[in-house]
Amino acid sequence: MKLQEFQAKRVLSLYGLTCPEGRVAITADEAQAMAAEIGAERLIVKAQILAGDRASAGGVRAAGSPAEVGAIARELLGKPLVTPQTGPEGQVVHRVLVEAAIGVARELYLTMAVDGATGTLLLIGSAAGGSAIEQRHRSGAATLETLRFNTRGETLGGDVAGFCARIGLEGQVARDGAETIRRLHQAMIGLDARLIEINPLVVDAAGALTVVDAKIEIDDNALFRHPELAQLRDDDEVDEIELEAQRHQLNFMQMDGDIGLVVNGAGLGLATVDMIFDAGGRPANFMDIRTTAKSLDIAHGVGLVLDNPRAKVLLVNVYGGGMQACDTIIEGLAIAVRRKGRALPTILRLGGKNEDLARLRLDSFKLPIVELADMAQAVERAVAIAHGGM
């Protein structure tokens, strides 16, 4: 789950990180009144959407008076903002953040993220923060420094002082930078975050550090531990189909291909998508059936695939284990076919817990299924059917 910028800053302030004084408005009149309350000589108006590169699209603008803040808000609110990260349709701006402008001596980049390959927290920083950091890094204009930590507890180890020196911090600013990293680490652990990105982290003329922009992504699987964070989800910014799928214990994303996928497990799902592309096909969706999903939840997910008119074939790649058994998934498949009245040619690769019981249930359901034991063979057959063969 992604937090809006204003939400991320409020959360980070609870961990002792300094953020500019700001207010959130949903109308131009509110924005103007809030600017007057802040009372700063220079103000910033920022469109609140879940996408980066807002400044390049006119979504972050400076203002010199409350009246100018109101005029900018009037231009932004209720209209789509198109950035390189939104796609051509853009995202509609429902809120603006009005903040006091911060005097900038230097802009730093600071991010902490979960590295799924190693199970560690990866700290990434640069002395050259600000917009287009990824592109500048690829071109060699910005150097990224890294440092790894474990995810156990709130103790921060590693050469933090050395890291601060490598991103150009000295003296008291370096000590404040180390404290900022410690608090960032605490926030990652305390929030069950997958990513916290601060860009830029500004050093002002007095040497103080301020979080000028922030992004936080929370692990959806940990939201049951954070009901206060779950309430922050912005349903307006989430695809309706994906949101409904999440309520049914599914991670689901529509894609532009013609091979419908039913897969349990994110890793297996990603591997299946990669294999389809390698075989010359295109998936119609990504699906990850969570271990907490019941047969009716699975039926909802299969129904989403069957509702897609582009889908020509269904590839079911299942490994039963732990809380998720093969027969539960097959039962969900059968329920969905009965509900939708549509059955696609189905290629099945099945293994693990209750696989023999699942096969017995398949016989009783009379579904048009071809089972293959090898994952690669199953993918190749699905691609062949999508291309018009058998």
Residue 240: its pLDDT value, please?
Answer: 64
Question: What confidence score (pLDDT) does residue 197 get?
Answer: 97
In the set 30, 107, 197, 217, the catalytic residue is 197
Assign 76 to helix, strand or coil: helix
Residue 56 DSSP code: G
Q: Which residue has the tokens 């802009």?
A: 107
User: How many Å from the N-terminal Cα to the C-terminal Cα in the chain?
Assistant: 40
Query: d(Cα 168, Cα 212) in Å, to the nearest integer?
Result: 19
Are 105 and 204 in contact by the 8 Å Cβ rule? The answer is yes
List the strands of the sheet with 313-320, edge to edge. Answer: 259-263, 313-320, 346-352, 369-371
CA 390 to chain centre: 37
Cβ count within 10 A of residue 78 = 12
pLDDT in tens, the chain (390 residues): 889 999 999 999 999 999 999 999 999 999 999 999 999 999 999 999 998 889 989 999 999 999 999 999 999 999 999 988 887 888 999 999 999 999 999 999 999 999 888 888 999 999 999 888 888 888 888 889 999 887 765 556 678 999 999 999 999 999 999 999 999 999 999 999 999 999 999 999 899 999 999 999 998 888 888 888 877 776 555 556 776 777 788 889 889 899 999 999 888 999 999 999 999 999 999 999 988 889 999 999 999 999 999 999 999 999 988 668 899 999 999 999 999 988 899 999 999 999 999 999 888 887 779 999 999 999 999 999 999 876
Q: Is residue 351 classed as helix, strand or coil in its secondary structure?
A: strand
Please write the tens of the pLDDT for every residue from 129-175: 988 888 888 888 888 999 988 776 555 667 899 999 999 999 999 99
3 state DSSP class of 293: coil
Q: How far is CA 258 from CA 203, 283, 305, 386, in A?
A: 50, 6, 10, 7
**CATH H superfamily, domain 240-386:** Succinyl-CoA synthetase domains (3.40.50.261)
Handedness of CA 308, 261, 114, 297 (dihedral sign): positive
Known catalytic membership, residue 197:
yes
Angstrom distance (rounded) from CA 92 to CA 86: 10
Catalytic residue among 30, 99, 107, 109: 109
Q: How far is CA 287 from the centre of its chain?
A: 15
Please give the pLDDT value at position 321.
80
Cβ-proximal residues to 304 (8 Å cutoff; 6+ apart), any chain: 241, 245, 252, 285
Assigned CATH topology for domain 21-100: Dna Ligase; domain 1 (3.30.1490)
* Domain residue ranges in the chain: 21-100, 106-230, 240-386
CATH code for the domain defined by 106-230 = 3.30.470.20
Say how many C-beta atoms besides its own lie within 10 A of residue 352's C-beta. 15
Instruction: Tell me the pairing of strands 369-371 and 285-289.
Output: unpaired
Please give the structure tokens belonging to residue 251. 């991670």
Kindly state the helix (H) or strand (E) to which residue 181 belongs, with its residue range: helix 171-191
Three-class secondary structure of residue 156 per DSSP: coil
Cβ-based burial of 168 (10 A; exposed 0-12, middle 13-18, buried ≥19): middle
Tokens of 159: 């050469």
* Distance between CA atoms of residues 85 and 315, nearest Å: 30
Instruction: List residues bridging with 23 in a β-sheet.
Output: 98
The pLDDT, as a whole number, for residue 291 is 86
Catalytic residue status for 319: no
Angle at 199 between CA 266 and CA 218, to 5 degrees: 30
Enter the tokens of residue 165. Answer: 């020196």
> 271 near 349, Cβ under 8 Å?
no
